[in-house]
A and B are shown apart, each in its own frame.
Chain A
């Protein structure tokens, strides 16, 4: 009990940590220690739950609750630990940035939102964290506001996430209509699969597609590289993109077999697209981004094959080695930038074609790249090998004995792991081996200790030791339930070594197919869709508003004015005309009669005489 309340207070205080930017890493350290405490002292197979009422509608109370079990304990540790390392690293990387306060504030909010996702006990609260992650990543990707590309990338990331979130929301609505509750633990027992249940799980999976950059919503992730590199590490390692995978693990009971098949297909598609596109990139950060997409595809496939624990394992190992790779890449970028400034030259330091032979100038980064990269490639003795092994084992047993489309997916994934080795090797080879290219003659200094230390820690965490004592055995000390298959392990070792050999042979070849560079033209399709449909729609509605509705109103207004004119004319010509006619008639009569008596004595005499004469004539007749 005091444990979690302490955790709560840390979550709150962390949000205000930006008051002094130096307190941020410290608070995160505190958080990480707490998380470790929770993780190691929570008895296995037990959970801790603490609920407070959030709000109440009619008779349904929606609570804001924290829920810690083995799964969320693991994630808690990973998120806090990596976030802590990224904070430390950022102190070095972002030194001198004018808006460092906002940077740390958003980093804190990001971690907070991620923890909400990890700890939430109901889906609505999870959705809150989910959207907040989207918001803080928007702010972080667009941190360098004056760069137009950064603003565009941030917008794209948020909107892509929003599209997925809309699906998530529909899933929430279905669940609400079905159960009247969002509580995750209420569904802990598997329900009989109904069409609605399949629909709900697929809708929620839409949210996962957006957040975890699965096909078809994956192109925001490479663009998000416009943000500061530590942010890329944080987003691409343990947190944002992992949130989707975590969500599926968390609500795994909700998924019906039919929806799991779709999940597996989406995952495999993503894994292959990501790996192939990574092969064709030249920007160091974009290579890493596409490789993240590919690895996420692996995780999602593992989920689809009914192996959430294997997915979690890969999530866990990937968090460390990918964060290590990103931070190391950031360190290269920063070192080269500083060297450039001293030498007053300029070239794109992120383009690996400009780099080469850096192993002598940046030995530490080189080492980290070797370790973490090997882990990414899945070489034996590294953590990535073990987790991939677990996934492959899962797929093999899922595909079963008979030949079906499931074997096809398995074959694709095996092929993808081959490509993974190739692009990783290509990247490391081009940067660190061969001759120096544009960097020749620059005096390059390695990064300061605050940046080095986190990288080294992450690299060490990429070794096999993080999972189990046996470098070929992925059954981990924390979750022993995972099955293990020596045949698959042997095959993977041979396969990876073969891939390594092929990669060495092809080391100087570049894969410059445009389709790979452009990430399968997904962006172009989206562009076409948005301009053709979206903008047309807005133009259409604007036209309806201006010309149809307002036009109609103006037309009625004119008609009214016209009618008014007509009635005005009628008024003038007919009514007034009659009246005027009458008036002039009367006036005419009046004039005539008035002329009888206009004060002239002669006239009076004349008329009198005239009248008398007439009278006499009449009298005489």
Chain B
């Protein structure tokens, strides 16, 4: 029974979407309740899974079914399986996804235009997000990964702000470019990897676990570790790592591939921004940790400094841009860029602390960024204006809102007691120790990255000072009665998130106990395998 739980998580929203398709579009609220019901069921299933999850084992809740088996004659057999499972990397992200999706549904309650279509797309998005976090077959992962684009594109393009067409097309093209890079690598891997358990026949497989084992590569194929072919300065495997890196970095997003993010966030409606920031960005980091690092360990060692450097650049550059933003949502979007830089820095360090911190940062940023975008949404719902300069002294009129803003801002700038602090300190410790432990990143990276902390404090406090302190005043066409405090529905969304970021900040051990074995395994695997493989340069 356990092995079907993941499939249940993935397919229950699809079933719900199908039911929603049959319901008449007139019954607007039925779609909302149906989606919420699905979310609640998912949460219950997830709790069931958490209860039986065993920290000491590697991949659990595995389900493997034959999916595509094509006999290509002399080219061997193409084999893709429906292969899902959870480990210390995916479980935190699944927990995050299920809860954030539920909050996004609550936040979507105010959507009034074409409700049926909206919720059906939301359910499809739900399924594909959960699918890509659990898939252990590259083709399956790619399918879910690509499938996410479609509902997202329409959710921005139809229910977005004034420049929604521009933003959605930019988002779509950027991500599609990344997908193409990933597709190229996937095809290369498919050609190069065979199933070691198949007897006699050559079976090309998409199984990600097989791909991590260097002995499973067919000799003299393009991605075979021992093949001598060079393409320009590097061999095929280094190129493949770079392609994967760029592909996932677009999603992350990493500077300079990030400009789709501010536009998409500014134009997307609040729940979509929440999903985008809290979940979709994490797939970039997830992909690096799940595919790029273990499949190409020697390339990860070789290019580790580059990944770390881009992380540091993202941290500083994103923070500087956040400071110059005049739009609250844009500021938050850039702060996301800055915070996702920590994910890169931690992964690149290849120390247990660094990788653990990196996964912890993905989780914590999911909570905090969801909170930040909900906050921006609260203000936008009231006044249709997100410009920072429009407001001042909001704390006098919106007391509990200001409390939530304080929590979110200080959590985001890494105050101890909030989850972001644990994540960032671990990343810093790992990145600094990297030179003495693995020799990948120089100490200066971690030192420069601390600048990001100062800048983070600066832009958040500056915003607080401008928007919330001082005498109450609003500019433009906004009347004073438009400014009122949080209602129950908004509190229902914000309070659990605030509690979560506090809880994981004060008691990090339960989550760390899940992540840590994975981080340990990954770093040891990449270091030992990577050092055994020779670099043909």
> Interface of A with B (CB < 8 Å)?
53-58, 124, 127-129, 131-132, 135, 138, 142, 145-148, 150-152, 154-155, 158-159, 162-163, 165-167, 169-170, 172-174, 176-177, 534, 537-542, 545, 549-550, 553
Contacts and interface: CB of A to CB of B under 8 A. Distances in A.
B432 A177 contact: yes
Contacts of A159: 454, 457-458, 461
B324 A539 contact: yes
Given A145-B395, A542-B320, 11 more contacts: A56-B512, A57-B356, A128-B417, A146-B393, A151-B470, A162-B458, A173-B432, A173-B447, A534-B323, A534-B458, A550-B259
Given A58-B520, A550-B259, A166 B451 contact: yes
Interface in B440-468: 443, 446-447, 450-451, 453-454, 457-458, 461-462, 464-465, 468
Contact of A542 (B321, B428, B465): B321
11 contacts: A54-B508, A131-B416, A142-B469, A145-B468, A146-B396, A159-B454, A162-B458, A169-B425, A169-B453, A542-B320, A549-B256
Contacts of A155: 461-462, 464-465
B324 A128 contact: no
A53 B170 contact: no
Contacts, number: 139
Interface in B411-426: 415-417, 421-422, 425-426
Given A57-B356, A177-B433, A163 B395 contact: no
When A and B form their complex, which 7 residue pairs have the shortest distance between CB atoms, in order from nearest? A173-B432, A151-B469, A58-B352, A128-B416, A538-B324, A166-B450, A542-B324
Given A170-B450, A174-B432, A177-B432, A549 B461 contact: no
Contact of B429 (A54, A147, A163, A173): A173
A163 B454 contact: yes
B509 interface: yes
A127 B469 contact: no
Contacts of B516: 56-58
B470 A162 contact: no
Contact of A132 (B416, B451, B454): B416
Contacts of B395: 145
Contact of B454 (A142, A166, A176): A166
A461 to B, nearest CB: 32
Contacts of B447: 170, 173
B429 A172 contact: yes
Nearest to B334: A545
Identify the interface centre among B320, B352, B451, B513: most chain A CB within 10 Å of its CB: B320
A173 B431 CA distance: 9
The B contact surface, by secondary structure, is: helix
Interface of B: 170, 256, 259, 262, 317, 320-321, 323-325, 352-353, 356, 393, 395-396, 410, 415-417, 421-422, 425-426, 428-429, 431-433, 435-436, 443, 446-447, 450-451, 453-454, 457-458, 461-462, 464-465, 468-472, 508-509, 512-513, 516, 519-520
A169 B352 contact: no
Given A55-B512, A162-B457, A549 B259 contact: yes
Nearest to B410: A135
A381 B384 CA distance: 67
Nearest to A163: B454
B325 to A, nearest CB: 8
Given A58-B520, A146-B469, A169 B512 contact: no
A164 B417 CA distance: 19
A155 B410 CA distance: 12
Nearest to A180: B433
B470 to A, nearest CB: 4
A537 B428 contact: no
Nearest to B519: A58
A538 B325 CA distance: 9
Nearest to A178: B436
A148 B392 CA distance: 10
Contact of A145 (B320, B431, B469): B469
A537 B451 CA distance: 13
A37 to B, nearest CB: 28
B465 A57 contact: no
Nearest to A176: B429
Which of A58, A166, A172 has the most chain B CB atoms closer than 10 A to its own CB?
A58
Contacts of A177: 429, 432-433, 435-436, 443
Contacts of A538: 320-321, 323-324
A159 B422 CA distance: 20
Contacts of B470: 145-148, 151
A53 B432 contact: no
B454 A55 contact: no
Contacts of A151: 464-465, 469-470
Given A57-B516, A538-B321, A538-B323, A165 B433 contact: no
Given A57-B356, A155-B465, A553-B259, A176 B323 contact: no
A176 B432 contact: yes
B241 to A, nearest CB: 23
A534 B457 CA distance: 13
A169 B450 contact: yes
Name, among B256, B435, B472, the residue most crowded by chain A CB atoms within 10 Å (CB to CB).
B256
A549 B260 CA distance: 10
Nearest to A152: B465
Contacts of B432: 170, 173-174, 176-177
